[in-house]
Amino acid sequence: MKNNILVFASLCVLLASCTTKTEQADQTLYYNGDIVTMAGDDPQYVEALVEENGKISFIGTKEEAEKNYEMAQKIDLQGRTMLPGFIDGHAHFDSFASQAIGAQILPPPDAGAKDIPTLITILKEWNTPENRALTGWIFGAGFDDSVLEENRFPTKHDLNKVSTEFPIMIIHISGHFAVVNSKGLDLLGIDAQTEDPEGGIIRREANNEPNGVLEELAAFPYYPEALTPASPEAALQFFDAGQKMALSYGYTTAQEGRTMQNHEGLVKNAEAGRLQLDVVSYIDYMFADKYMDAKWTGKKYTDHYRIGGMKITLDGSPQGRTAWRTQPYILPPDGAGSDYKGYPAIPEDSVVTSLYKKAFRNNWQVLTHANGDAAIDQMIRGMTSAAEELGNDDRRNVLIHGQYIRKDQLDTFKELNVIASLFPLHAFYWGDWHKQIIGDSLGDFISPTRTALNKGLRLTIHTDAPVALPNLMRMVGISVERKSRSGQVIGADQKLTPYEALKCITEWSAYQHFEEDTKGTLEVGKLADLVVLDKNPLKVSEEDIKNIVVLETYKEGKQIYRK
């Protein structure tokens, strides 16, 4: 009996030893690189980081890591830079696919659509039976009238040169306009008798005929017609292309910043286990009654998906000159008078106020798209009324974009505890254009990131992809450099430091999304959401930051992208 007990005891020790080694073998130790924790007001580096069971279990010296984690798999960073996984302050994840898979009609440097003939050529080359089968339409996203050499919108007549047999829809780089060919207009039922919807305009030519350009709420409802996959196979192809694009730019948490019926597709992909990164969704106010009570609403992810709150859109695009201002545009769009100031998406203040009160009563976080200062005034009126009636503790409501915000409005947002998610990519893409349409002094104040920080606001920055490519390192670089396409500095006094810009897509963005306890910094106990860069943004020149490349992306310790 004694011998049997000894044998049994020895077996238990052996099994325990094997279990410990197996667990240790699942640990990963990263070393020999610039590991930047992003915790604190100044950059802090550590020699080593250990991931275990999807979380960070150690940060510190390499010697101590090797001593405490003898069996860990070791990964030599070879001098590269490791940061927390990236979190965009605002984007449209579900629309990445249209940019990744559609005709590449962005202007240089992102693609080649520098003029209308080139745009037509790109669409012709994309027009194959295989591509048309994706949705039944010829489509692309990203053309920019402010950069096209003709300085005008394409019309149905231009798109008819691509095809009169098949419908065509191209989406403006702002996401707030579409252009459709004659076949497309016929399929959508838009003709000379079709009235402009509230909050939108159908641009016209002789005899009131549509010229193919659709603005704002005259465009948005029709996007699904051209961009909805025509088959389950096409839907999967769309999803995979969009997600791969996000991972290649270091996203570990993405935002779907204006969710409508596409919520159902996101749920389907989540339940099927296809999401490799976290996606937080903000439901458009028009669909709040339908989706906001779903089981997905809250601060916890299920299968990497959750509904974070509600989205309200109050005006349009500043570069498209549909942002609602208190002063007229210096250069109004075609057909508009000298007193043109843009226009609201929701004209009635009472409707806007009721939306904020509804969100406050239900404790829904609100993201508000407002670009022009008149739209921001409307936001302030509605939110102030809701806060006075229903309280305003830790709601973390967010201003999205705010291109033409005034200094006094920033002060009010500080009082209302509004997070400013600004869009400094405008400095490069449209900085020169803003100076033409609103003047030099106001043009220099677009995306006033430094002023917002100085006034004590919480700040994030965003790509608004697919408005621009979801290239987060380009965004960081432009936030620091503030140079336009022509090389002119747009608001030198609004520059961020490289460390501040990185904070905006790590720790500060995690806070915006109520996720600061699990994401945003490299600290023990947080998720091992990691990104590896070819260079350190804190050690290269300002002009080199935007060219830094993501080499690897990890979600909860699992490699989900490698260049």
* Tens digits of pLDDT across the chain (563 residues): 444 444 333 433 333 333 333 344 589 999 999 999 999 999 999 999 999 999 999 999 999 999 999 999 999 999 999 999 999 999 999 999 988 999 999 998 889 999 999 999 999 999 999 999 999 999 999 999 988 999 899 999 999 999 999 999 999 988 889 999 999 999 999 999 999 999 899 999 999 999 999 999 999 899 989 999 999 999 999 999 999 999 999 999 999 999 999 999 999 999 999 999 999 999 999 999 999 998 999 999 999 999 999 999 999 999 989 999 999 999 998 889 999 999 999 999 999 999 999 999 999 999 999 999 999 999 999 999 999 999 999 999 999 999 999 999 999 999 999 999 999 999 999 999 999 999 999 999 999 999 999 999 999 999 999 988 999 999 999 999 999 999 999 999 999 999 999 999 999 999 999 999 999 999 999 999 999 999 999 999 999 999 999 999 999 999 999 99
Q: Which CATH number fits domain 93-227: 3.90.1280.10, 3.10.310.70, 2.60.290.11, 3.40.630.30?
A: 3.10.310.70
> 215-242 b/e with 16+ CB inside 10 Å = b?
bbbbbbebbebbbbbeeeebbebbbebb
Measured distance CA(105)–CA(119) in Å, rounded: 6
How do the residues of the chain divide into helix, strand and coil, expressed in percent and rounded to 5?
35, 20, 40
The pTM for the full model equals 0.89
Distances from the Cα of 358 to the Cαs of 26, 313, 341, 361, 418, in angstroms? 47, 15, 29, 5, 17
The SS3 call for residue 286 is helix
| Domain locations in the chain as residue ranges | 2-79, 93-227
Number of separate helices (H) and strands (E) present in the chain: 22, 22
Residues 6+ apart with CB under 8 A from 540: 548
Measured distance CA(25)–CA(55) in Å, rounded: 15
Domain 2-79 has CATH 1.10.150.530: no
* Residue type (1 letter), 363: N
Measured distance CA(89)–CA(420) in Å, rounded: 9
